[in-house]
Amino acid sequence: MYHIRKARIEDAQAIAEVHVHSWKATYQNLINELDLSNTTVEHRQIYWETILKLPRQQQPVTVIEEAGEIVGFISGGKERTDRFGYDGEIFAIYLLPTHQSKGLGKRLLKAFAEEMKELGYRSLLIWVLTNNPTHQFYLHFGAEKIEQEQTTIGHGTYQETAYGFVTIDLLLDKLLAKGL
């Protein structure tokens, strides 16, 4: 049984663990090993403690648990570039590798989209490494490819692609049509 809830400050370490383990598994063949190994739970925990101290409307974070253990999360807020006409952005969505392909990402995306709508956002953008096959997840729910650009991660430079959900309402309709 899975449970979705708003993240709390005491979740920082568990979120950091999910973040690092999922990030390393997802990007092991996409990012240089040196750049992967520089990401630690300790650094991510400090990052998530900082985020979780912010007012929720500034950067909401939602977790999904199984038997009281956090197995995934999603976070976002105001779109950071102001270049594409989207007002909201998904900054991170991660599930432990053992919990992927079980429909949990859809559930997290739905909960996050509902909260962002409640906070007054109308649209969502997300950046994904271009070679990451998970971009199909966003296309499946109606995202449109917007732009590609270079990003630096550690010492490496990688291409990433922006995908946008023109309206949160359309995203929620697609999720509903897919059985959520």
Q: Which domains does the chain have, with CATH numbers?
A: 2-177 (3.40.630.30)
The tens digit of pLDDT for each residue in 12-43 reads 999 999 999 998 898 888 888 877 777 889 99
Residue 70: pLDDT over 80: yes
Share of residues in the chain with pLDDT > 70 (%): 99
For every residue of 159-176, which 3-state class applies, written as one string?
A: EEEEEEECCHHHHHHHHH
Buried b (16+ CB within 10 A) or exposed e, 92-124: bbbbbeebbeeebbbbbbbbbbebbbeeebebb
The model's pTM = 0.94
